[in-house]
Structure 1
């Protein structure tokens, strides 16, 4: 995925429009997010849409490298410190997201602040609630549409590479899933839930059916001339 942005981007947008759409793909670990982001980008690009991608955590920056070290179990940090690093990693890209959307590129984002909230709150640290976890991200660019790839923890365990990173443990993944669904059912939640346990082709088709109408509305100017802000 490191080369995805270059693969789908031109120096300047191929087509002019009001702004690009901001699409986020979320999900529990091993739900197939990265594969589905790649497929979605390919289909949108083939139709002539201006596409760029981003993935969080972005492990290129100094902050991102610290997060990578933590996720690979190479360092230990206080839960609050880790959460704020993840948030800072997103803020590093906030201006880029806004400017890229304004230029007419649709952004497909692999994980965003929803992940930051639920993974921190899932640790069951009494001093780090879901409400606390929301606060550092207030003001970040708000997605136009969010896809949640839902997968039972026992299904995730059967997929290749499971357990390589810190958060890939069944009990934690179960709490993460429950918190995602809690966000989904909250007022203004707005996530589109797709069963990631189906075949890759079936999941791809369902994502496509959810995302394409939003991209066309935003790029066509019938849904918000400016990207919104996360309000908590």
Structure 2
């Protein structure tokens, strides 16, 4: 039997769906309840490569753009990484995202590109080896937080004595 462990919980969604806000709120709430919790972001914009990606996204630097890779090719570097116990997809239409603050400040924050992102997530969610849960990101910040926290706590209980899986193996 595997030892007691935490849960790997991933938040996904289009730009401005609330991933950063909800991630911070979840970590704060779990810590307040006495759990050890860490927040990891990608890109992590404090590292050298993260700063390069960040400067590209905010249009400070121009780099060769390779956004037309197929989804299977893009998944290859992640094969064998720890498999998320749950992926919470914060669903928000590109039109609703465009109404949120600072939309358009980054290179790919436009409705047509975000629609493509949404379509790619739809294809990814067909992978039944992953535990996807779709959340309505148009809810209030607090209502969405309560729902996310509830699912996180349930997931933590379910996986505490199970081994961590490997992604796409």
The answer, yes or no, to whether TM exceeds 0.5 is yes
The answer to whether the aligner puts 1:47 opposite 2:28 as a matched pair is no
Aligned residue pairs total: 167
Pairing 1:17-32 to 2, within 5 Å after superposition: 18-32=4-18
CA–CA distance in structure 1, aligned partners of residues 130 and 113 of structure 2: 22
The answer to whether the aligner puts 1:59 opposite 2:45 as a matched pair is yes
SS of equivalent residue, structure 2 residue 101: coil
Pairing 1:82-101 to 2, within 5 Å after superposition: none
Q: Following TM superposition, by how much is the alpha carbon of 1:28 offset from its aligned partner in structure 2, in angstroms?
A: 0.7
SS of equivalent residue, structure 2 residue 40: strand
1:119 alignment partner in structure 2: none
Runs (4+) of structure 1 exceeding 4 A deviation are none
Higher RCO by CA contacts (8 Å cutoff, separation 6 or greater)? 2
Pairing 1:166-177 to 2, within 5 Å after superposition: 166-177=107-118
Q: Following TM superposition, by how much is the alpha carbon of 1:231 offset from its aligned partner in structure 2, in angstroms?
A: 1.9
The answer to whether the aligner puts 1:179 opposite 2:120 as a matched pair is yes
CA–CA distance in structure 1, aligned partners of residues 15 and 101 of structure 2: 11
1:102 alignment partner in structure 2: none
The answer to whether the aligner puts 1:213 opposite 2:154 as a matched pair is yes
Taking a change above 3 Å as real, the CA distance of residues 229 and 79 of structure 1, as seen in their structure-2 partners, is farther
CA–CA distance in structure 2, aligned partners of residues 216 and 47 of structure 1: 14
CA–CA distance in structure 2, aligned partners of residues 46 and 34 of structure 1: 18
Unaligned runs of 5+ in 2: none
Root-mean-square deviation (Å): 1.6
- Contact 1:183/1:189 (<8 A) preserved: no
SS of equivalent residue, structure 2 residue 38: strand
1:3 alignment partner in structure 2: none
CA–CA distance in structure 1, aligned partners of residues 64 and 128 of structure 2: 31
TM-score (norm 1): 0.67
TM-score (norm 2): 0.90
**Where is the helix percentage greater, Structure 1 or Structure 2?**
1
- Contact 2:85/2:131 (<8 A) preserved: no
Unaligned runs of 5+ in 1: 1-16, 81-122
Pairing 1:131-170 to 2, within 5 Å after superposition: 131-170=72-111
- Contact 1:23/1:145 (<8 A) preserved: yes
- Contact 1:192/1:210 (<8 A) preserved: no
1:93 alignment partner in structure 2: none
- Contact 1:147/1:191 (<8 A) preserved: yes
- Contact 2:7/2:85 (<8 A) preserved: yes
